[in-house]
Amino acid sequence: MPQEATAPSARQIELLEAAYRYALAHGLADLSLRPLATAIGSSPRVLMFLFGNKDGLVRALLERARVDELALLDRLGRAGQPIGLVPAVERVWAWLAADEHRPLLRLWAEAYARSLVEPEGAWAGFARATVDDWLAVLAACQPQPERDGEAGAARRTLALAVLRGALLDLLASDDEPRVTAAVRHQLALLRG
């Protein structure tokens, strides 16, 4: 059984990719093996074989979603030297507000909330992990004197809060102009 600790096979990657597209469209909450399998042209038997059990599948899907997330974060940290919190927020928001990322972000919100309520099982630690991921990247964007110390931690925590709070609003209201105006307002405040 390929399951884990071994490199995923070509077939495994192919089916995971298909299942990921399905999850983006239908959500993870009431994901069920049979409907998923028929939708992606497979069978529950094969999914069990490749991922061990349903939890393994969900874990693989969450990791797959995290890859998309880290791809964004990576582009931020790529710069040789820290760009500062304000440009970082600016760029991240442009990414979050883009229409084509809506399904991914809905999936993210779903996984985040679920991992808060049910801290065991496949969802375990998802929320906590993304908080740490983002704070680390934002820290890397801060210049050196600011980065350390509690004030710096408060500043990047605040930046993260604004981004995520605005995202929640956007996902529910779809009122991009109003929410983007709010983010811009914050950027103006931060610039002083």
Which residues contribute to the site for a second copy (CB under 8 A)? Answer: 27-30, 106-107, 109-110, 112-118, 127-128, 130-131, 150-151, 153-155, 157-158, 160-166, 168-169, 171-173, 178-179, 181-186, 189-190
Choosing from 4, 21, 25, 53, the residue that interacts with DNA (CB under 7 A) is: 53
Q: Choosing among DNA, a second copy, none, which partner's interface includes residue 34 (Cβ < 5 to 8 Å by kind)?
A: DNA
Q: Choosing among a second copy, DNA, none, which partner's interface includes residue 153 (Cβ < 5 to 8 Å by kind)?
A: a second copy
Of the two residues 49 and 112, which places its CB atom closer to a second copy in the complex? 112
x/- contact string, 21-40, with DNA (CB under 7 A)?
Answer: ----------xxxxx-----
Using CA atoms, how far apart are residues 12 and 101, in angstroms rounded to an integer? 24
